[in-house]
Amino acid sequence: EVQLVESGGALVQPGRSLRLSCTASGFSFGDYAMSWVRQAPGKGLEWVGFIRSKAYGGTTEYAASVKGRFTISRDDSKSIAYLQMNSLKIEDTAVYYCTRDWIQLWLPGSGYWGQGTLVTVSS
Amino acid sequence: QSALTQPASVSGSPGQSITISCTGTSSDVGNYNYVSWYQQHPGKAPKLMIYEVSNRPSGVSNRFSGSKSGNTASLTISGLQAEDEADYYCSSYTSTSTVVFGGGTKLTVL
């Protein structure tokens, strides 16, 4: 059974940094692209970015709203994906979800979701 | 990349059918068959209902179906049930190798 568990959410001041983790199990983690999606309180879903598997270059893509501030990485030996968030803004306050596509190895889809972790940016 | 356009709300009575539209551009919905639909109940993580335009994951009721014509994708729910009341989101892969979501549609079962 595919499981994704996010951790690391916290209350943080504007301008500070935070790193989220997504621990995966139940599948061959290294074979799949992994994505992050967020949802601000009372708002809709917003795609944050994704990291390709090493077979597809291990490269990353980001939404314009986080490009240059957020970095996604992965440790295939530990089956963990990370979201490093720098220069946090109040508008980054959201539940952050880790996701994986339902069947495609390369697609930044969201067939499987974690339970989410809350990041609150406030002074 | 602008968000895909969905109606803010739709409603229907039990047993009826409803359709939710999702309009994008030739850079996303119109050019890729990687459109997905998600159901989200309050306080819960989204759940995949349709992937690659019209495919249902295992365990999803066949009352849910998806289609696409040009730049617009659609989700149809037939035989509406009270448990279908939720927020629904569409998403699409894009020409810049990113993903864009729709703004979401609140479904009310009357």
Q: Which string of DSSP letters, residue by residue, matches A97-120? A: EEEE-SS-SS----SEE---EEEE
Residues B67, B46: Cα–Cα separation, whole Å: 20
In sign, the C-alpha dihedral spanning A86, B38, A2, A54 is negative
Q: How close B54 gets to chain A, by Cα (Å)?
A: 13
Residues A88, A70: Cα–Cα separation, whole Å: 9
Closest by CA to A96, choosing from A2, A3, A7, is A7
Neighbours of A16 (CB within 10 A): 12
Which tokens hold the place of A28?
Answer: 């061959």
pLDDT for the residue A80: 98
Residue B41 has pLDDT above 80, yes or no: yes
Chain B, residues 56-75, CB within 8 A of chain A, namely: 57
Q: How close A69 gets to chain B, by Cα (Å)?
A: 17
pLDDT for the residue B1: 73
Phi and psi dihedrals of A63, rounded to 5? -70, 150
Average pLDDT score over residue span A44-72: 98
Cβ-defined contact of A113 to B47 (cutoff 8 Å): yes
- Enumerate the residues of chain A whose CB falls inside 8 A of the CB of residue B46: 45, 97, 110, 113
DSSP, collapsed to helix, strand or coil, labels residue B84 as helix
Closest by CA to B49, choosing from A48, A110, A107, is A110
- Enumerate the residues of chain A whose CB falls inside 8 A of the CB of residue B47: 113
Average pLDDT score over residue span A39-57: 98
pLDDT for the residue B102: 98
- Enumerate the residues of chain B whose CB falls inside 8 A of the CB of residue A114: 45
Closest by CA to B92, choosing from A96, A105, A112, A110, is A110
Q: Does residue A23 come out as left (phi exceeding 0), alpha (psi in the -120 to 50 range) or beta? A: beta
> What's the longest Cα–Cα distance across chain B?
41
Per residue in A59-93, pLDDT tens? 999 999 999 999 999 999 999 999 999 999 999 99
Picking from B34, B87, B98, the nearest residue to A47 by CB comes out as B98
